Structure 1
Amino acid sequence: MELTNIPHLASSSNFFFSSCSRCSCRGRRTEKAVIAVSVAGIRCGADSACSEITEQQNLDSLPGSKNSRCYRRRDFAAAALIPFLLPRVDMASAAESYDASIIQNGARNVLSKVKAAGVLRLVFHDAGTFDVAEKSGGMNGSIIYEVDRPENAGLSKSLKILQKAKEGIDQIQKVSWADLIAVAGAEAVALCGGPEIPVRLGRLDSSIADPVGKLPEETLDAVALKTSFRNKGFSTQEMVVLSGAHTIGGKGFGNPNVFDNSYFKVLLEKPRPTSSGMPIGLPTDWALTEDDECLRWINIYAEDQAKFFADFQDAYTKLVNSGASWRTA
């Protein structure tokens, strides 16, 4: 990203002008770069020398001369003042100084509660390719190259939605697909009544697709699911809380446009319920209820929505940072 309005010093390869508050004279210092600062209220300690600069130029260049020592003292004092007089710039902050609200507003302008589940699914399918051991995949925007894969069926619609947002945002400041998808997913959760999730910015996009076969299949049992998520760096608790994202959308867990803990409450109903004659959720959702460790977390989140929101926020943040490459100053 290009940084603008960063204060900087303009240097001259030959000389600087030296001035003081009481004198209007300027001396050209040759063969020696001098940084000078004029500060109201600071008096020149060598006023007599200032009136005789022209005549004393040759003397100034002599290492042992009195005037040379005088100028050196003034130059040193002036240089020492620079850190206090110039605006302080934190380069690490400057690298990420672009306005996050522009990305948030761009995402909000194209989102609706009906579209929220599809956009949130984009996050999971982009970041879900991460593999800790292989150090591959992750939140890198590669999903734009992977929409033709069977596991990503239907995601092209969500990408088209965000494409409109990206076009508008890019006219103001460039945004990577990875950042946009991460922010849009968080906005989708908040739009449906879920927790507000701050998203760190600065992800770089991949220029190629991620390896195939990295997303967990819908037919996995609990043991295989736990292994899959562990390979991505997630605990069983994090896997369960992230699965709670299925509370929105058309999977039948409560109100499809409301992000709450209905997902966990429905999972505790036995036998597996149906909605309009169709099974609710995916096989992997119900596989969680067959594992004691997973079931313990399901019960916790079914009873405490606030804890679900807090833990989901943490797990989502970890998810959208997984495997990301970041811009540097």
Structure 2
Amino acid sequence: IHMASHTLPCIAALSCLLLLLSSFSQCQAQLSPTFYNNTCPNALNIIRTSVRQAVSTERRMAASLVRLHFHDCFVQGCDASILLDESPTIKSEKTALPNLGSVRGYDVIEAAKSELEKACPGIVSCADVLSVATRDATVAVGGPSWTVKLGRRDSTMASHTIDLPSPFDNLDRLISSFASKGLNTRDMVALSGAHTLGQAQCFLFRDRIYGNRTDIDAGFANTRRRNCPKETGNGNLAPLDLVTPNSFDNNYYKNLLQKKGLLQSDQVLFSGGATDSIVSEYARSPQAFQTDFASAMIKLSEVQPLTRQNGIIRKVCGSLN
């Protein structure tokens, strides 16, 4: 009897724990790397071919696709809501301030999707196309690969209220913004390394290069001013990594050590705070960065996916069927 009275609460506690774990893994369990093996066995090859073609035509497209995926997942989850065009029933995310005139790559996803529709109509979601294309684009410019779990479905609505991390955010704000999506501080620093690729518009870093601040290298600020005048040229572009702007490497972190982060949200990662040690580690070890980037991208691509009966499979990514 003595033993039984101890084991009962233990069994109860254990079953509660198992229940919690099963509900937590439910959403993960619904996504699987083999999701299309029977219904569209050539899906991954079709997407890869489209993406390789786009990136070989314009290497900058790799950065654009990574950003497109990020901007999708941070708003109501990885549901391809960002791909929906304006319509009588939809206020498109494309026209929301953080996306307007700067988010690109919609046509690459649409091209891959139209090839998939020829091969296996109505099977592969736009949300899955975007997740896979992001991985393939990263690989195409020398980045790591990872296994994308599949089975996402597409949203039937968009959200014009966009709560994305801002280029002007301080470290605490960045940490809490990523935490709200289930991404920890290390994930945040690794995902920021996507800024080893791509470009930023002048108005996003003008204050930083003209502010005579202590957290920016003077020579670097000077160089950046050439293409970003004090009063004009808001849309002028500058590479986020001046050294190797179209190659996926750990140079972004080396830049931060030298106070050569272009955006405030870049440099705050190495500014005497909680993330300094992670930045130093990635600057030393490209391998550590690539490994962590891949695992953070997997976590990002699994933020609140629509699965099973939720959502739809869009035939064209820009509109509802």
What TM bracket, shorter-length normalisation? Answer: 0.5 to 0.7
The residue type paired with residue 105 of structure 1 is T
Q: Is 2:87 the counterpart of 1:141?
A: no
Q: CA deviation at 1:155?
A: 5.0
The residue that corresponds to 1:292 in the other structure is 273
The residue type paired with residue 239 of structure 1 is M
Q: Structure 1 residues 120 and 93, CA, compared in 2 at 3 Å: closer, same or farther?
A: closer
Quick check: 1:110–1:162 contact (8 Å CA) kept in 2?
no
The residue type paired with residue 163 of structure 1 is E
**Distance in 2 between residues matched to 1:96 and 1:168, nearest whole Å:** 15
Q: CA deviation at 1:211?
A: 5.7
The residue that corresponds to 1:28 in the other structure is none
Gaps of 5+ in 2: 1-31, 84-91, 200-238, 310-321
**Distance in 2 between residues matched to 1:172 and 1:120, nearest whole Å:** 25
- 4+ residue runs over 4 A deviation: 92-95
Q: CA deviation at 1:309?
A: 0.6
Write out per-residue CA displacement over residues 126-146 of structure 1, whole angstroms, 9 at most, x where no aligned residue.
0122xxxxxxx1100001131
**Distance in 1 between residues matched to 2:263 and 2:62, nearest whole Å:** 19
Alignment of structure 1 residues 179-198 onto 2, 5 Å = 179-198=128-147
- Whose radius of gyration is greater, 1 or 2? 1
Q: TM-score, normalised to structure 2's length?
A: 0.65
The residue that corresponds to 2:150 in the other structure is 201
Q: Is 2:304 the counterpart of 1:323?
A: yes
Q: Is 2:53 the counterpart of 1:109?
A: yes
Task: Output the aligned Cα RMSD.
Answer: 2.0
The residue that corresponds to 1:128 in the other structure is 74
**Distance in 1 between residues matched to 2:180 and 2:98, nearest whole Å:** 19
Write out per-residue CA displacement over residues 83-136 of structure 1, whole angstroms, 9 at most, x where no aligned residue.
xxxxxxxxx99853232323322332333322111111101100122xxxxxxx
Gaps of 5+ in 1: 1-91, 130-136, 274-279
The residue that corresponds to 1:258 in the other structure is 247
Structure 2 SS opposite 1:196: coil
Q: Work out the percentage of aligned pairs sharing the same amino acid.
A: 33
**Distance in 2 between residues matched to 1:318 and 1:154, nearest whole Å:** 28
Q: CA deviation at 1:189?
A: 0.7
Structure 1 SS opposite 2:107: helix
The residue type paired with residue 299 of structure 2 is K
The number of aligned residues is 222
The residue that corresponds to 1:313 in the other structure is 294
Quick check: 1:106–1:166 contact (8 Å CA) kept in 2?
no
**Distance in 2 between residues matched to 1:290 and 1:94, nearest whole Å:** 43
Match of 2:115 among 165, 168, 172: 168
The residue that corresponds to 2:194 in the other structure is 245
**Distance in 2 between residues matched to 1:303 and 1:121, nearest whole Å:** 25
Q: CA deviation at 1:196?
A: 1.3
Q: TM-score, normalised to structure 1's length?
A: 0.63
